[in-house]
Amino acid sequence: MLKWLSIVCSMMYVLATTNMAEVLKVPLFVEHLMEYEGNFAEFVMEHYDNHKEDSDWDTDQKLPFINPPIVLTVNAQLPELIFHIEKPKEITIPQKNSTYQEKNFPSLCLSRIFQPPRLS
């Protein structure tokens, strides 16, 4: 049961992500592989890695994913972005005069940890 489920899921993925015309060429791929004198890796390397024109060139051009059609072409142009950096305006903050005046405190207050604030 698990084997069939994995096969069905794999087929759904392949059919959803590839062009159907290329999937229909798989029997031709298998037939051409059976006629080939060599193993699978040699077949793929010869036919899909910079294939040179040979006696069965017409059959080779019908293999799947040799000449896949361009299904969707997207032409996107990004808008031109212009940034204007303005000079920041000078902000002046008026300073308030302090109304605190230091007074002479008794020595008892100065000897404690908590003392009143002092101006420096």
Q: Give the pLDDT confidence of 50-94 residue by residue, as tens digits.
A: 778 888 888 888 888 787 666 666 677 888 888 888 888 888 877
Residue 75 within any structural domain of the chain:
no
Provide the number of structural domains found in the chain: 1
Which positions ≥6 away from 68 have C-beta within 8 Å? Answer: 19, 22
- Domain membership of residue 78 (yes or no) is no
Residue 116 in any domain: the answer is no
Specify whether the CB–CB gap between 62 and 23 falls below 8 A: no
Asked whether residue 115 is assigned to any structural domain, the reply reads no
Contact criterion met (CB below 8 Å) for 105 and 116: yes
100 inside domain: no
pLDDT score for 25: 85
Residue 49 maps to a domain: yes
Q: What is the pTM of this model?
A: 0.44
Is 14 part of a structural domain of the chain?
A: yes
Domain extent for 14: 1-61
Closest to 22 in 3D by CA, of 2, 48, 42, 52? 48
User: For the chain, what percent of residues have pLDDT higher than 70?
Assistant: 77
52 lies in a domain?
yes
